[in-house]
Amino acid sequence: MSTLDASPSHVPVVVVGAGQAGLAASWYLSRHGVEHVVLERDTAAHAWQDSRWDHFTLVTPNWQCRLPGFPYPGPDPDGFMTREQVVAYLADYVRLVDPPLREHVTVTSVQQDADGGFLVGLRPSTGSGHGPTGSGAGEVLHTDQVVVATGGYHDPRVPRLADRLPADLVQVHSSAYRNADALPPGAVLVVGTGQSGAQIAEDLHLEGRRVHLVVGSAPRVARFYRGRDCVAWLEDMGTYDVPVQQQPGGLAAREKTNHYVTGRDGGRDIDLRAFALDGMRLHGRLVGCTGGRLEIAPTLEASLDAADAVADSIKDAIDRHIAALGLAAPTEPRYTPVWRPEVESTELDLAAEGVTSVVWAVGFTSNYRWLRVPVFDGEGQPCHERGVTAVEGLYFLGLPWLHTWGSGRFAGVDRDAEHVVAHLAARARTPQAALG
């Protein structure tokens, strides 16, 4: 790997972030012959090691791992890589790309200068990237163009209600959860049923822990239907190719929660109703707290029904696709709910239920305070057209729904990076590009 020991005062392109999006950008920049540097607060692709639990697996099949120049090379394309396998896959990719990489450096600011370029403030980082950054001497780079490839999940979100929970209750965010043994003995409350929350609840349940799960509005999808993984059907149907502007609700699709499902043990549905039959306690939305008593809204049955309805709608679309093309595919009965709440809980007494820890799986907030360029909407989200902003020379990569459903994942980062870098390279070849 080539590493720049001393940064030049000027570099034509700065890529912020060395996850899969930043590495993909570097791949295409090198092929366009564009000089650049990739800046990383920690180490390349570190989040896959540092922010995933021990039994984590991808929820998309391995064949969807197709980074530029590096499709999945292993023997199990229809399987689901574990955390360790993803880490190894990306380590191999770093060696292949051989990016001009500077690790352990935090970008403290990006702002426009008078010449139409950008000034990038840096300082050394310490630790894993989750802790404070170092206070060493800073430096400033001048660049013509900037690619922000830091993803869309920056600061763990924990509701203010957490401050009112008993002081002896251990609280962790899903990004810090590792395994059941890392939590104190006793029951565990998991809040949230997006992909992480549902899978962490399953992980704890399989480890024999008593789990209370606060069920949100996340949809679900079947793992397999009519002889194939649902992802394979959706790929064939072009679902992952539909631009966000053409989705129902348009750009509002960027706020959608991903469907819960798992790749564990070869892949299967996550059926919360089946978990309830097996002893997991399901609850509706968390609305308040008084001492050690949680107030629960009676939304559980409606949330479960809505999640099942989404799973059925996906099966309906697959059925229409099969019928339209006259494909030979086995039929199978539709899912029938195996459990319904007889009475919805409206209160949870943590002490009485033996709850000693909480896992908050309620997502992240974005953090672009360091990016001092006018490209944000009223809610602080970047405004762009497939990663290209209205500010000449500033781009985004790796955001969820940057262009399509696959943009924030291995499946779509290749074509997004190719598009952004082609735009960037064309501007770099323009004689007056630096003037904007």
Query: What residue segments make up the domains of the chain, in order of their start?
Result: 10-154+366-435, 156-360
145-154: pLDDT as tens digits: 999 999 988 9
What's the fold here for domain 156-360? FAD/NAD(P)-binding domain (3.50.50)
- Determine the pLDDT at residue 136: 57
pLDDT of 2 higher than 50:
no
Angle at 29 between CA 367 and CA 238, to 5 degrees: 75
pLDDT band at 13 (very low <50, low <70, confident <90, very high): very high
pLDDT of 162 higher than 60:
yes
Task: Please tell me the pTM assigned to this model.
Answer: 0.92
| CATH fold match for the domains 10-154+366-435 and 156-360 | yes
88-124: pLDDT as tens digits: 999 999 999 999 999 999 999 999 998 889 999 999 9
Mean pLDDT of 214-225: 97
pLDDT of 28 higher than 90:
yes
Q: Is the dihedral of CA 296, 301, 302, 303 positive or negative?
A: positive
Answer yes or no: are the C-beta atoms of 201 and 211 closer than 8 Å.
Answer: yes
- Determine the pLDDT at residue 385: 95
- Determine the pLDDT at residue 250: 72
pLDDT of 435 higher than 80:
no
348-377: pLDDT as tens digits: 999 999 999 999 999 999 999 999 999 999
190 strand-pairing partners: 213, 359
Backbone angles phi, psi at 115, to 5 degrees: -95, 5
Side chain identity, residue 335: Y
CA 209 – CA 280 distance, rounded (Å): 9
Backbone angles phi, psi at 262, to 5 degrees: -140, 155
CA 206 – CA 183 distance, rounded (Å): 15
- Determine the pLDDT at residue 247: 82
310-329: pLDDT as tens digits: 999 999 999 999 999 999 99
pLDDT of 6 higher than 90:
no
**Percent of the chain clearing pLDDT 90 (strictly above):** 85
- Determine the pLDDT at residue 405: 86
Range of weakest confidence among 82-86, 226-230, 246-250, 296-300: 246-250
- Determine the pLDDT at residue 17: 98
- Determine the pLDDT at residue 430: 67
pLDDT band at 38 (very low <50, low <70, confident <90, very high): very high
pLDDT of 408 higher than 50:
yes
234-293: pLDDT as tens digits: 999 999 999 988 888 777 767 778 899 999 999 999 999 999 999 999 999 999 999 899
Angle at 179 between CA 293 and CA 362, to 5 degrees: 50
380-405: pLDDT as tens digits: 899 999 999 999 999 999 999 999 98
CATH number, domain 10-154+366-435, options 3.50.50.60, 3.20.20.70, 3.20.20.100, 3.40.50.300: 3.50.50.60
Average pLDDT, the chain: 92
Answer yes or no: are the C-beta atoms of 418 and 68 closer than 8 Å.
Answer: yes
pLDDT of 130 higher than 90:
no
Neighbours of 81 (CB within 10 A): 23
pLDDT of 131 higher than 60:
no
Mean pLDDT of 71-85: 97
Residues 6 or more apart in contact with residue 52 via CB below 8 angstroms? 83, 86
